[in-house]
Structure 1
Amino acid sequence: MTSSNPWSGRNTPLPQQANPSWMGQIPEQHYRLAPANLAGPPQAALPTSARGAMGRRSTGAVGLVAGGGVFGFLGLFTVLPFLLGNTGIAGFAIGFVASLLPLGAVLLAVRVIDRWEPEPKRLLLFAFIWGAVVSISVTLSIEPYFSLAAGPASGLDYRTFATTVQAPVIEEFSKSLGLLMLLLFARRHFDGPVDGVVFAFTIAGGFAFTENILYFGRAIAESSDPGTDLAVVFFLRGVMSPFAHAIFTGTTGLILGLAARRWNRGLSVVAFAVGLVPAMLLHSGWNSMGQDFLAQYILVQVPIFLLAVLVIVLLRVAERRLTRQRLKEYAVAGWFTPAEVEMLSTAAGRRAALRWARSKGRRAEMKAFLHAATQLAFTRQRILSGRDVPGHQLDEQRLLADVAGLRAAVVS
């Protein structure tokens, strides 16, 4: 039965094109029409503008960020003494500076992946603090107990056990615990696999940053030829494998993101446990490379990296298709013109709009509108998935009011 009132809670039949990709599949019972634009069709114009501000703030996300700051501060009392005790002041300082380079590569990748629907900076900051401080502190706290409990039963010598079992299990658990916290307490911003990869890369980038300080600083503090040893360690960790931790934890983020599409707390915990398995296996495989390191790196690790790149590209394509379809549904309801949908749902259209806006001195307004429209598309996706429908409909109303009320900011 179709609904004559698009604001009502009654469902409508699922159109054939409603699921444009494998990502964001919605059940038929949750589908509903986009709310109609009762003010009439928008002015037909390519450039448009809006404030792009979400009206509600998740109290869970605010608490999560505050809690992350507290745990991060407390974790410094564990992490800093550990680093300084292993590197010395000079080694720590040089290691810190050298670690900024591979960190920059990971954060640049995060920026590229996250450009379509940027995550709130406060949550990215939480993710980085979790990775750089909290997960390190958790790892240092758990490792001795894990070694005593599981080491003898493994039948391995301590060095092999520590590198191929202990480190992968404890480190991936510690990092991914931050992902689970984000999914449980900031689920409005954890929409799917792209968000999972973004948060995972940020956490892993923070973890690798601190770990690199340790390795780079120790290469200086414990070596008779610190310059040469630092160059070797930097090449291995900063040049050949800056994305190793990101790929390990990224698999957990991907699986948690897929679970976020079918939100419930029980499934999230199950997905967390399932997602740890490939992360731990990849981590263990990396740490297990020995004398034939170069051959394994070329034949195994490089293909894994290329596969990760391919997955990210496919995620980006699916995300754009989803944005286009949701905005088309708003266009049918009278909120956008077809030309605007093309502008908003393609990279080329967005670049052209920004160039035009820059020539008019309105680039900031256009950029904000692009963000608002993308937020609107993903808000509709949350509504159609059946997650907190009344709350997300309030966000939808505010965003639609922005789009309609501020379009004249650029075209006038």
Structure 2
Amino acid sequence: MSHKCAIFGPGPFAEYFTWRGELPSQTLWNLMMKTENPNPGEKYRLGQQAHMRRAEGINTLGPAPTEEVHTQRIWLGWGIVQWVIAILAIAAFAAMVVFASGPSSIATTGTLALVALVPLVGVTLVLTWIDRWAPLSWGHKVMGLFLGAGLGGGGAIVVNSLLGTDFLLYTGDQNLTQFYSAVFVAPFSEEIFKGLAVVLVMVLAQNSLVSPLSGAALGGLVGAGFAYVENILYFVQAHAQGSAVLGLTLFARGVMSPFIHPMATSFTGLMIAWAFICRPKLWGWVWRIFVGLCAAILVHMLWNYLASVGTANWLLLYLIIEMPLLALWLGGLLIWAGKQSKRVARGLESYVVTGWVLASEVRMATNRYAGRYARKWGRRIGPPAPKMVRKFIRTIRRLGMDQEAMAAHGVRPYLVEQDNRLLADVGAIREEFVHLEALRGAAQ
């Protein structure tokens, strides 16, 4: 190993800079590590963190890790409120599956539930990819799925059934009642109950929200949970009518429209997350929630209306209206997610100036080629290096997103406290890289 690389410390960031011929000199390295005189342009002061870092015994250039890396485990550390809500959400989900099964056998319902998992998994993977820059915990995401299925599905079924019965008594026409229920009842009741599920999860996850994009993804997951139970219900009903009807239903709901409910509720999630992040006055909350809910209802209403005009007409309208709408929505979210790398880079500027984060680490967090190189290094080193590289990149991204959120909306004490922990993780993971590299060298 070269002298520069020995100074810089082993690890994916050192290898990446060596590969590019950009390793800093000893003088520049010393300058980067000085934090006693923060740059006046930084968005909030980091100087006190240097003292805390030394007091905790963290030495980023040490030969072996001196502190266990913080890990965030699913469900652990939750209070009684979170546990109660999680248990109720799972119980409501189970009740909805039992309701959807109706007179069908357990085996039939279970098989169709497994089939309905295919679009659910696909939608979840896409939304998780969109929310990769400052993601909510998997615990909150799973809770969103269960609440969408249980609270959203259960509440909507009760309201739809009651109002559908009133419409039938008033009109006396079954077909007309189905049309009015689908177009003017279901969109309102379902989006309102799904919106309540979104609000509930966001209240619990509000300290983790730094981007409206996370809200859009969470709203989509709530919608996906609702669609999952609804798909089971439709699949069971179609199964009773024969294999031809079941096949058509599977194709229509599983292939052509898995994103309809997620798309509608994502607008509610986006606007509610915006309100949680901005913390406006009462009117700011009201108009944001109103706009998001109206957008969700209109998208849902359009879909149900087009689905009520007949099979032949629906296929044509799907191709000329729904497909472009879905493509515009999904493409917009993917483009928005791609632009988050610039936010991360801007947010990390003050950390780079004060030496807490290196320029190479910013590239790994924001540049796919640099990130790919780091992951390749991790695979070459062997376990647990790949996991540590992924955690390191996630941590750096989170620091940048937190910084940008505070620059736009003011310093949040809980974010400062969280970033202190993340910075400790950064130092500990660096030491782990050094340790793993040393072990690998000794083994060779």
* TM-score calculated relative to the size of structure 2: 0.76
1:346-365 counterparts in 2 under 5 A? 346-361=367-382, 362-365=385-388
Unaligned runs of 5+ in 1: 16-30, 44-48
Native 8 Å contact 1:252 1:275 kept in 2: yes
Matched, 1:167 2:186: yes
Tell me which residue corresponds to 1:51: 69
The equivalent of 1:24 in structure 2 is none
1:233 aligns with 2:252: no
Q: Distance in 1 between matches of 2:270 and 2:334?
A: 13
1:362-411 CA-to-partner distances (Å, cap 9, x unmatched) read: 21211111122122223323433456722222222222222234412213
Q: Pairwise mapping of residues 242-261 of structure 1 onto structure 2 (< 5 A)?
A: 242-261=258-277
Q: Quick check: 1:50–1:407 contact (8 Å CA) kept in 2?
A: no
Residue 140 of structure 1 pairs with residue 157 of structure 2: yes
Hey, what does 1:28 align to over in structure 2? none
Distance 1:86 1:174 in 2: 27
- Check if 1:273 corresponds to 2:294: no
Who is 1:72 aligned against?
Answer: 89
Report which structure shows greater RCO (CA 8 Å, sep ≥6): 1
| Counterpart code for 1:171 | E
CA contact (8 A) 2:191 2:296 kept: yes
Distance 2:44 2:433 in 1: 31
In structure 1, what is the Cα distance between the partners aligned to 2:403 and 2:420? 11
Q: Is the Cα contact below 8 Å between 2:97 and 2:232 reproduced in 1?
A: no
Aligned-partner SS, 2:348: helix
2 CA distance for matches of 1:86 and 1:296?
35
For residues 265 and 80 of structure 1, do their structure 2 counterparts lie closer, same or farther at Cα, with a shift above 3 Å needed?
Answer: farther
2:334 to 292, 296, 313: 313
Mapping of residues 278-317 of structure 1, within 5 Å = 278-289=295-306, 290-291=309-310, 292-317=313-338
Contact 1:6 1:35 in 2 (8 A): yes
CA contact (8 A) 1:68 1:129 kept: no
Distance 2:280 2:80 in 1: 20
1:373 partnered with 2:373: no
Question: Is the CA contact 2:183–2:301 (under 8 Å) kept in the aligned structure 1?
Answer: yes
Count of aligned positions = 379
Alpha carbons 1:129, 1:206 under 8 Å: kept: yes
Report SS of the residue matched to 1:336.
coil
- Equivalent residue for 2:44, pick from 3, 27, 32: 32
CA distance in 2, matches of 1:313, 1:50: 35
- Tell me the alpha carbon deviations over residues 327-364 of structure 1, each in whole angstroms, 9 at most, x when there is no partner: 12210111122222212222222111111122122212
- Structure 2, unaligned stretches of length 5 or more? 1-34, 62-66, 436-444
Kept after mapping to 2: 8 A contact 1:130/1:206:
yes
Overall identity of the aligned pairs, in %: 23
Shift of 1:137: 1.2
1:186 to 1:54, Cα distance in 2 relative to 1, 3 A:
same
Separation of aligned partners in 1, 2:165 and 2:407: 49
AA of the residue aligned to 1:301 = E
Q: 2:147 maps to what in 1?
A: 130
Partners in 2 of 1:250 and 1:150 — Cα distance?
Answer: 30
Relative to 1, partners in 2 of residues 1:294 and 1:51: Cα closer, same or farther, differing over 3 Å? same
Structure possessing the higher radius of gyration over alpha carbons: 2
- Equivalent positions of 1:166-245 (< 5 A) are 166-221=185-240, 223=241, 226-245=242-261
Q: CA 1:407–1:89 in structure 2 vs 1: closer, same or farther (change >3 Å)? A: closer
Equivalent-residue separation in structure 2 for 1:161 and 1:86 (angstroms): 27
- Kindly tell me: are residues 365 and 50 of structure 1, through their superposed partners in 2, closer, same or farther at Cα, counting changes over 3 Å? farther
2:110 match: 93
- RMSD across aligned C-alpha pairs, in angstroms? 3.4
Question: C-alpha separation between the residues in 2 aligned to 1:33 and 1:81?
Answer: 55
Provide the C-alpha distance between the structure 2 equivalents of 1:227 and 1:147, rounded to a whole number of angstroms: 28
Q: Deviation at 1:6?
A: 7.9
For 2:135 and 2:434, locate their aligned partners in 1 and report how far apart those are by CA, in whole Å: 25
Tell me how far 1:263 sits from its aligned partner: 2.0
The AA in structure 2 aligned to 1:189 is S
Pick closer, same or farther for the CA change 1:212–1:77 going to 2, 3 Å. Answer: closer
User: For residues 393 and 325 of structure 1, what CA distance do their matches in structure 2 show?
Assistant: 17
* Deviation for aligned residue 1:147: 4.8
Q: Distance in 2 between matches of 1:149 and 1:305?
A: 34
Asked if the contact 2:134–2:397 (Cα under 8 Å) also holds between the matched residues in 1, the reply is yes
1:397 to 420, 425, 433: 420
